[in-house]
Amino acid sequence: MLRQFELVDRVKSYDPKANEDLLNRAYVYAMKAHGTQTRESGDSYFSHPLEVAGILTNWHLDSITIATALLHDTVEDTLVTLEDIHSIFGEEIASLVDGVTKLSRLKFKSDQDKQAENFRKFILAMSKDLRVLLVKLADRIHNMRTLKYVKSPEKRQRIARETMEIYAPLAERIGMHEIRSELEDLSFAELHSEIYASISHTLEHMRKKEENLITQVIEKLHEILSKEGISSNISGREKSPYSIWRKMQRKNITLEQLSDIIALRILVKNLSDCFHVLGCIHSIYSMIPGRFKDYISVPKDNGYQSLHTTIIGPFNHPIEIQIRTYEMHDIAEMGVAAHWNYKEQNFTTNFLTEPNSEEKVRKEGSQYRWVRELLEILEQTSTPKEVLESTKLEMFADQVFCFTPINDIIPLSKGSTPVDFAYAIHSSLGERCIGAIVNGKPASLETILENGDQVEIITAKNQPSPSIWKRFIADKLMRPSIRKTIPSKQSETLS
């Protein structure tokens, strides 16, 4: 069990300004509140919130979130009330604990309407502060890791199904790929224990055959990359039983027909090294056409960036290779949690050389846009069944991706115009925008942009007259970002 000073030291290791006093108070308070309660495993109950706090330190979260994790089950499972938490720890922690408590009360029912209704409340509760969701995900990971101690098979199945259907997809949505993968594997082991066991068994067997080969390839790559003067970290990663099972189903193949179970991952310092490494690999090994993916130039909508290629290794054995920077790797593993670590840097696009702080905040906010979009879908659809279907299916059907002249990608809502595009880049660009060139041709500012359009914004030296903007103000496509800027600018001009 993590000791009090160890927890504080962990937080201080990535956040020197950590609020030690708060962490100590939350630790002692939660420990006393849970008292002699035990879990089904026989462990003291307090070991659970402590483990959850430990998981959150791996994601480098702030003292407030860690304290919330320590306190997250006190209101639900002890005599402590929310008012107690509020008076002792203040408004912010009380509202986070309240959010987590509300999520804990939701149960995933088999009945469709109920399901959707709960799901909806769940999303609403979580979207107030993403830290609520992060605490809940850490809570779910620990509960899944200890699921085997739960005695009732029905309860185990319900928790596993809920994890598979709701928490794993949510983890993926906020870019926490590793977490999704762990949640899926743990659920899979419970929901389909026999298939899980047989895949694990086969993996064991294949691992022995493949390991030598992978070692050979890693050695060769090390040799070549060091000759090129690239420092890198190369590791082999076994695919998870669940991802293998999905592949078997998708491609309709048997376990015996699986060719590669280990993927190589190469981490390098910077972007240009990624492409350099790719070039080196392709010059030694042949690649399998159609398997190359450049998620660096076109990141996935959860922010994932990496180069993927599959080469034909020794003995004609296909080997999948992922190449990315350390920073991309942290974001791939930790998603939104990693953005906290990198928030001092301009990691999203390199289009703006020196964004002001307001701009930075807005850009970070766009990481969470899917939450807002999800809320819009929830508000627009009428029946619970519809809600369930639309949220499960395509949360991003409402987006278009357009390019700047230097091929930076700008995600926009469907129906966006070149004006929205300009504002999405920078408010000052939006304000000075008087025309646009779309895919090399002059286009009106009312043009509805489509996926893949390349857009160049023509600007006036000075700000255009407010009359140009009047029609946009009336326009239903008007974005809040424009609304915020224009009226004040207008009043300045008019006064």
From the CB of 141, what's the least distance to Mn ion, in Å?
A: 11
Task: Give the shortest CB-51-to-Mn ion separation in angstroms.
Answer: 9
**Closest distance between Mn ion and the C-beta of residue 69, in Å?**
9
Long-range contacts formed by 377-382: CB under 8 A, 24+ apart: 378/120, 378/123, 378/124
408 class by beta-carbon count within 10 Å (0-12 exposed, 13-18 middle, 19+ buried): middle
Chain-centroid distance, C-alpha 322? 18
Give the closest residue to 122 by CA, choosing from 391, 303, 463.
Answer: 391
CA dist list (Å): 343 to 338, 370, 410: 8, 19, 19
Which is nearest to 418 in space by CA: 439, 397, 398? 439
Catalytic site residue 256?
Answer: no
Which is closer to Mn ion, CB of 55 or CB of 336?
55
Torsion sign (Cα): 13, 14, 18, 21: negative
Written in H, E and C, the secondary structure of 207-230 is HHHHHHHHHHHHHHHHHHHHHCCC
* 37 vs 356 by CB, closer to Mn ion: 37
Q: Select which of 6, 21, 76, 83 is catalytic.
A: 76
Q: Which is nearer to Mn ion, 139 or 330 (CB)?
A: 139
Least distance CB 123 / Mn ion (angstroms): 20
**Cβ(314)–Cβ(289) below 8 Å:** no
Catalytic residue among 15, 62, 77, 333: 77
Q: How far is the CB of 76 from Mn ion (least distance, A)?
A: 8
Footprint of Mn ion (CB under 5 A): 73, 139
Nearer to Mn ion, 146 or 381 (CB): 146
Residue closer to Mn ion, measured from CB, 73 or 453: 73
Q: Name the residue among 300, 376, 292, 377 with its Cα closest to residue 335.
A: 300
For residues 60 and 340, the answer to whether their CB atoms sit within 8 Å is: yes
76 noted as active-site residue: yes
State the catalytic residues: 76-77
